[in-house]
Amino acid sequence: MADLSSFFAPHSVAVIGASRTPGKIGYAIVDNIIKSGFAGTIVPINPREQEILGHRCYSRITEAPGPIDMAVISVPAAKAVDAVEDCARAGVKNLVIITAGFKEVGKEGLALEKQIVAICRENNITMLGPNCVGMMDTHTPLNASFAVNFPRRGDIAFISQSGAMLVAILDWSQYTGLGFSKVISLGNKAYLTESHFIDAVAADPNTRVVLCYIEDVTDGKHFLEVARRASRKKPVIILKSGTSQAGAQAASSHTGALAGSDLAYDTAFRQTGIIRAGTMAELFDLAIAFSKQPVPRGKRVAVVTNAGGPGIVTTDRIENQGLEMARFAKETVDFLRQNLPAESNIYNPVDVLGDANVDRYQIALQKTLTDPHVDSAVVLVCPTAVTDASSIARVIIDEHRKVPEKPVFAAYMGGESLAAGAKKLNDAGIPCYTFPETAIDAIKGMSHYRQILQRPASAGEPRPDNLYPDTVKQIFQKARQDNRVVLLGSEAVQVMQAYGIPCAPTELATTSDHAVELAEKMGYPLVMKIASPKILHKTDVGGVKIGLRDAVEVKKAFAEIMENVTRLLPNTEIYGIEIQKMMPRGTEIIIGMIKDVQFGPLIACGLGGIYVNLLKDVSFRLADGLTRAEIEEMLSETKAYTLLRGYRGEKPADIKTIVDMIARTACLVSDFGEISEIDINPVFAYPTGARALDVKITIA
Ligand code: COA
């Protein structure tokens, strides 16, 4: 983990390219540092000036008295490499490079950027950017950026790959009063990436919620490691735009065709406990919720409303989001019956009626919030002639204070007449939205985070036993010698067996007599298939025979297959004919693997057979660190799982064996980076045991 303590809290900051001219970036940066209240030394660097904004100016950083902990660089790109070299000479340990004109403009820019990174690495300098707005820490305090606003001090860390997005959000936050701990504009991420910052802010005592806007992840492996660790410490909410290449890259396999374009990111986020926001609004609604309210202990929501319709809308949303309408204790219901008008609904949602005064809200909220069957509450207020929105806000604030461990949200559904009350709530830390759905979505995000915290840690699960990587190595070597990237079926089966994955017995026969010899050993009935790396659709060229019952049939089939194939594809290289034991039918499953450029192998499982692409009943997980609990969860997301558990009186299949097969496949692909795709389809699952029938392995 990079130590970023002196990056966030330097004692001295130099600005290379500082300017006396208002309106220039070099001016704005010095001005921002001063205005943020930075208590350390400010050192402007400009060869033409003696003094800038009251601070002594030096012509080069090497001439300034040290030590200087951070340098912000805002000279044009052509001068940036020299400036960085100067910083290295001056012993500066942290750089923020604002300058644009690097990787983002093409080859020449990329070359400059590489030079800068090399200097940083050689001299152990951390570097943010280039091509960024800068960084802020409201607790240091320090605003080393050229943004127009320095946000209120708070507990949200915001890391953004888009500078424009960042400045817009900071401007917006001035209205909402949202407080930030640290704000980082990532720029080109040439050295420090989102992962370094997520790691740092997860360990930061001033940060409660981590927000990110990213367009891509720079180093998938580093990200997975950091995300797993960080999400257990605090909520990490990411808005990710753009799509990944996973689906497009691997479309030659069934598994590849089943993977959507954004699948790898979605899977990586889910598996590492990242909360993914779908929109900018959701990103910040969740930030507000996590920043201001505790995480609910469970899914049971109480609703108090002065209007029936919005109560129903809220109930619908609660159910659609997988939350639960709380079922009140008898004591609560009795109390509400005694204390509310006879027309009120005393069950959830509690309807205090359109003419409700403050007292009715108080009675309903106080009793429901203390009910042991309630984990969170939402208060809805619609404006009527008798609604006193400000006093209701006071009641909500007071009642929440008495039960601070349960989150409370409000929806003030109206405009001007409710604005003062809504402001009162927001100022007191009760998120108040215009519509109830936003409140419910926030509760959903928070209760999802509760589940993330409750997941068992993935580290430390033992590797399955009886894995023989040396055997696999030899098989791959042989294929490479023959210039093959797709293994023969019999080789793929050997690879599976070397990793303890049960397969239908499969052997390669080179002659007719050999076929009979193997068949007699294996026992009947049998299937025979042409073995040629060039033939993908074996049935189309008459290369498959099934249900063979004795030696005579095997001999005949051998001759016929050879005759068919050589007639249709005279010059095709043939390795022989595969003899496979015909297995009794079982529940058909697919297990597969595709590779993502960022996150590595993704394992798939679901309904197998010939309709896989039609039914698309698969679930994906990253192979890296895949646990048995995750495999079971993955299986349980598919319809295949219903079949495996015994559908319509069928005996349940051996799910334990299927889980073990998936765990072993994950080990295989993690051990052998050269495997680019696997399709095991179908696997026949039986009440006891399971067998892989058709295995396709592609290596790079
Ligand atoms: N050391 C210190 N100061 C130097 C210098 C050096 N080696 N060489 C020049 N300077 C001074 C200049 O004299 C100037 O000061 P002045 O105003 O007193 O004349 C100052 O540094 C800036 O140099 P200048 O040539 O005027 O550049 P600029 O201000 O027009 O542009 C950048 C510099 C960095 C702002 C510009 O190159 C840039 O990259 N802009 C885009 C930034 C951006 O959008 N970032 C990404 C946001 S998402």
Alpha carbon of 176 to those of 281, 425, 653: distances in Å?
13, 12, 55
**End position of a domain, from candidates 419, 454, 489:** 454
Same domain for 643 and 542: no
What's the pLDDT at 24? 97
What's the pLDDT at 258? 54
Strands 432-433 and 55-56: unpaired
Same domain for 476 and 380: no
**End position of a domain, from candidates 528, 546, 581:** 581
pLDDT confidence tier of residue 539, bands split at 50, 70 and 90: confident
CA of 56 to the centre of ligand 1 (A): 19
| Rounded (10°) CA dihedral 668, 670, 671, 674 | 90
Q: Is-cis flag, bond preceding 372, omega within 30?
A: no
On whether the CB atoms of residues 293 and 235 are closer than 8 A, the answer is: no
CA of 76 to the centre of ligand 1 (A): 5
HSE, CB side, 13 Å, CA atoms: give it for residue 533: 15
| Rounded (10°) CA dihedral 88, 89, 92, 97 | -50
Ligand 1 atom 10, closest CA: 17
What's the pLDDT at 459? 63
Decide if 239 is inside a domain: no
Give Cα 302 to chain centroid, integer Å. 30
Ligand 1 atom 41, closest CA: 100
d(CA 558, CA 692): 24
Mean pLDDT of 188-195: 97
d(CA 467, CA 454): 31
What's the pLDDT at 456? 75
Same domain for 166 and 75: yes
Check pLDDT > 90 for residue 3.
no
If one residue of 46, 50, 112 were mutated to test the ligand 1 pocket, choosing by the most ligand atoms within 8 A of its CB, it would be 46
Same domain for 87 and 115: yes
Same domain for 633 and 575: no
Select the more confidently predicted residue: 226 or 540.
226
Angle at 493 between CA 491 and CA 494, to 5 degrees: 65
The region of weakest confidence among 550-554, 568-572, 689-693 is 568-572
HSE, CB side, 13 Å, CA atoms: give it for residue 565: 27
Model pLDDT for residues 399-448, shown as the tens digit of each residue: 999 999 999 999 999 999 999 999 999 999 999 999 999 999 999 999 99
Check pLDDT > 70 for residue 592.
yes
What's the pLDDT at 262? 80
Check pLDDT > 80 for residue 65.
yes
What's the pLDDT at 243? 57
Nearest of 700, 676, 693 to residue 589 by alpha carbon: 693
Same domain for 566 and 617: no
Query: What is the H or E stretch that residue 508 is in?
Result: strand 506-509
Same domain for 423 and 366: yes
Decide if 385 is inside a domain: yes
Decide if 328 is inside a domain: yes
Q: What ligand 1 atom has the least distance to the C-alpha of 16?
A: 2
pLDDT confidence tier of residue 246, bands split at 50, 70 and 90: very low
Same domain for 424 and 310: yes
Q: Is-cis flag, bond preceding 130, omega within 30?
A: yes
How many domains would you assign to the chain?
4
pLDDT confidence tier of residue 458, bands split at 50, 70 and 90: low
Check pLDDT > 60 for residue 248.
no
> What's the CATH number where 490 sits?
3.30.1490.20
Alpha carbon of 695 to those of 220, 241, 592, 683, 688: distances in Å?
28, 36, 9, 9, 21
Q: Which residues have CB under 8 Å from 630's CB, separation 6+? A: 271, 458, 621
Decide if 245 is inside a domain: no
Specify the long-range contacts of residues 54-61, CB closer than 8 Å, at least 24 apart: 55/30, 57/18, 60/86, 61/14, 61/16, 61/86, 61/87, 61/90, 61/92
Q: Where are the alpha helices (H) located in 60-140, listed in sequence order?
A: 77-89, 107-122
Residue 409 domain boundaries = 295-454
What's the pLDDT at 251? 40
On whether the CB atoms of residues 334 and 348 are closer than 8 A, the answer is: no
Same domain for 114 and 14: yes
Same domain for 674 and 597: yes
Residue 679: other Cβ atoms inside 10 A = 24
Same domain for 593 and 450: no
HSE, CB side, 13 Å, CA atoms: give it for residue 555: 5
d(CA 577, CA 580): 10
What's the pLDDT at 426? 93
Q: What residues line ligand 1, using a CB cutoff of 6 Å? A: 16-17, 19-21, 24-26, 45-48, 74-76, 79, 83, 98-101, 131-133, 163
d(CA 48, CA 17): 10
Residue 341: other Cβ atoms inside 10 A = 12
d(CA 498, CA 465): 11
What's the pLDDT at 253? 53
> What's the CATH number where 203 sits?
3.40.50.720
Same domain for 441 and 383: yes
Ligand 1 atom 43, closest CA: 100
Select the more confidently predicted residue: 247 or 387.
387
DSSP annotation of 345 = B
pLDDT confidence tier of residue 43, bands split at 50, 70 and 90: very high
Q: What ligand 1 atom has the least distance to the C-alpha of 83?
A: 7
